[in-house]
Amino acid sequence: MWTQAILLVVLVCLLGLHFLNPFQARKKYPPGPPVHLVAVKFIQARFRIHPDMFAETAKEYGNIYTVWVGSTPVVILSGFHAMKEGLIKHSEVFSGRPVTPFYQAIVNEKGIVFSNGHTWKQQRKFGIATMQKLGMGKESVQSQIEDEARQLMETFARTKGQPTDPSLPIFNSLCNVICALVFGHRYSVDDEEFLKLLDAMEYNMKFGGTFFHLMYEVLPGLMKHIRWPYKAVFNAVDVVLSHAMKETEAHRAQLAVHDPRDFIDYYLLQMEKSKNDPTSTYDDANLFQCISDLFTGGTDTTSATLQWALLLMVTHPDIQEKVQKELEDAFGSSQNISYQDRKKVPYTFAVIHEIQRFKCILLTGNPRLCMQDVTILGAFIPKGTMVVPDVHSVIYDPEIWETPRMFNPNHFLDQDGKFVNREEFLIFGAGARACPGKAMAMMELFTFFTTLLRAFTFKLPEGVTEVSSEPVKGLTISPGPYKLCAIPCFSDS
Ligand code: HEM
């Protein structure tokens, strides 16, 4: 009863806000579904964004259409052609990030993900260069990733084939990879501070796309005064930033000027180098936010992908067996595998790509901001418009993939069984704001996946014949809770 009343009030507010915009102003955007239908879809999806919410809309309005969220126009790019035209051919035009009221309140346009203009350019360039110096795509990060994959393997070995929920150990391990990169050390899984950090990050990610998040975006003036639904999320943001602050102070106290060890060391040195440069954006606030960005961008994403990977191996034992055979044929059971070896195992590499396509962890493509008036594929998009690439319209497009709704590694193999890179594989975004962590993510997924599949065969627990592959949605889509048994392939695993 109360829920219905609240939903009705919200619906009326959304419609009211929409019609405050004069008709002429609304007419300049590409056409799209009427606002009341959009509001009804949101309500049907219980005020969460649903990836397939607008699946049919492009058929009616074309590949570039506008969805009105209250008074805010959001232009959707649907299909590969529109996304390529926008994100790649007009890369600079769509290089902005819209800073919505909620993210303005928690991020304040600092760091990389939610900054713009000079700050974004400087922080992103520094972030990429530093990740490369720290060996992203090279050996040092590779060996940290291998260490974490081995630790995860040992955690599974300790379960002795008994049913276990893999989500927490996976999340811990992938978080520790970022800890090594940013802080220069890993944490024990019993460390209270580490557990607090993990909880806070998980809470932040799960809050994205929820009812109260969307309410803050749509009615910020009102929601700023209703504090209770936001207390926990603001606390969680504080936990991550305070941790970054504490680590930074410890690094400052023993700064390794000649031998920077990690991201924080490099950043502090850069702050020192540019202290007399009036255009410098290197400061504590940007450093803390960059750290938070690397954690949020680099843990939930890889962790959700690896959770899907094991779930898909459990539900597709034939594919699991084929991967294990390929690994055994290429490397035997003892030789170490590194990311450079991926070309020797094209089937396994194709399976990893297909996992990411088939169980796409993104709710939508990350929103962009249009930096100038532009016309693409005949559609005019005014400067300042929020633009969302509908990545699901590409990765499930039947014109592109042979069996889009089936888990089929052949999507990434040619007739001779060689791995094929597909330009439609857009899950890391594209253009000026494409994911700077792609190389590291692929290295992590390859190393963890091959290490685990060489050591174990993953099975459903005895008596369980089915496992739900219904996703849990937050800002990233991860599988709902499930248990599996890690059966050692060799008796000493
Ligand atoms: C499977 C893993 C991952 C996926 C699917 C993924 C996906 C994405 C996507 C779709 C974007 C937005 C791109 C756009 O706006 O077009 C993005 C941005 C970003 N990602 Fe990733 N990512 C992953 C892993 C990582 C890792 C490991 C890191 C860091 C270590 C990272 C750091 C970032 C950052 C900092 C941004 C913001 C870039 C900007 O705004 O300029 N990501 N990622």
- Write out the chain's pLDDT in tens, 493 residues: 444 555 555 666 666 666 666 566 678 899 998 877 776 676 666 666 666 767 778 888 999 999 987 778 999 999 999 999 999 999 999 999 998 889 898 888 899 999 999 999 999 999 999 998 887 656 688 889 999 999 999 999 999 999 999 999 999 999 999 999 999 988 888 899 989 998 998 888 888 778 788 788 878 888 888 888 899 999 999 999 999 999 999 999 987 777 888 999 999 999 999 999 999 999 999 999 999 999 989 999 999 999 999 999 999 999 999 999 999 999 987 777 889 899 999 999 999 999 999 999 998 888 999 999 999 999 999 999 999 999 999 999 999 999 999 999 999 999 999 999 999 999 999 999 999 999 999 999 999 999 999 999 999 998 887 776 666 656 688 888 899 999 999 765 4
The answer to whether 361 and 304 have CB atoms below 8 angstroms apart is yes
Domain shared by 246 and 280, yes or no: yes
**Of 153, 131, 135, which Cα lies nearest the Cα of 144?**
135
291 Cα–ligand 1 center, Å: 13
Ligand 1 lined by 326 (C-beta under 6 Å): no
Task: Read off the CATH number of the domain in which 417 is found.
Answer: 1.10.630.10
Q: Which domain holds residue 476?
A: 117-361+403-488
pLDDT for res 282: 97
433 CB under 6 A from ligand 1? yes
Residue 226 and residue 133 share a domain: yes
Same domain, 175 and 287: yes
396 inside domain: no
428 CA to centre of ligand 1 in angstroms: 6
Could you tell me if the CB of 395 is within 6 A of ligand 1?
no
- Ligand 1 within 6 A of 107 CB? no
Question: Does the Cβ of 359 fall within 6 Å of ligand 1?
Answer: no
Quick one: 236 and 294 in the same domain?
yes
107 falls within a domain: no
Q: Residues 180, 77: one domain? A: no
Q: How many domains does the chain have?
A: 2
Residue 170 lies in a domain: yes
Same domain, 349 and 253: yes
Give distance in angstroms: CA of 368 to centre of ligand 1: 13
Q: Are residues 233 and 254 in the same domain?
A: yes
**Residues 96/392, Cβ–Cβ less than 8 Å:** no
Write down the pLDDT at residue 60: 87
* 313 touches ligand 1 (CB under 6 Å): no
Same domain for 121 and 31: no
CB of 296 shorter than 6 A to ligand 1: no
Tell me, what's the pLDDT at 23? 64
Which pLDDT value is given to residue 189?
82
Which atom of ligand 1 sits closest to the CA of residue 431? 16
Q: What pLDDT does 49 receive?
A: 64
Ligand 1: distance of its center to the CA of 309 in Å? Answer: 19
Question: Does residue 34 lie within any of the structural domains?
Answer: yes
Same domain, 168 and 73: no
Predicted local confidence at residue 3, as pLDDT:
47
Whether 106 is in a domain gets the answer no
> Is the CB of 319 within 6 Å of ligand 1?
no
Q: Do 372 and 276 share a domain, yes or no?
A: no
Task: Write down the pLDDT at residue 7.
Answer: 53
Question: Is 242 within a domain?
Answer: yes
Nearest CA to ligand 1 atom 7: 428
State whether the beta carbon of 436 lies less than 6 angstroms from ligand 1.
Answer: yes
> Do 408 and 323 belong to one domain?
yes
Asked whether residue 338 is domain-assigned, the answer is yes
**Residue 467, pLDDT score:** 73
Mutate which of 87, 97, 428, 444 for ligand 1? The one with the most ligand atoms within 8 Å of its CB, which is 428
Same domain, 233 and 378: no
Q: Which two tokens stand for residue 312?
A: 């898909």
In a domain, 493, yes or no: no
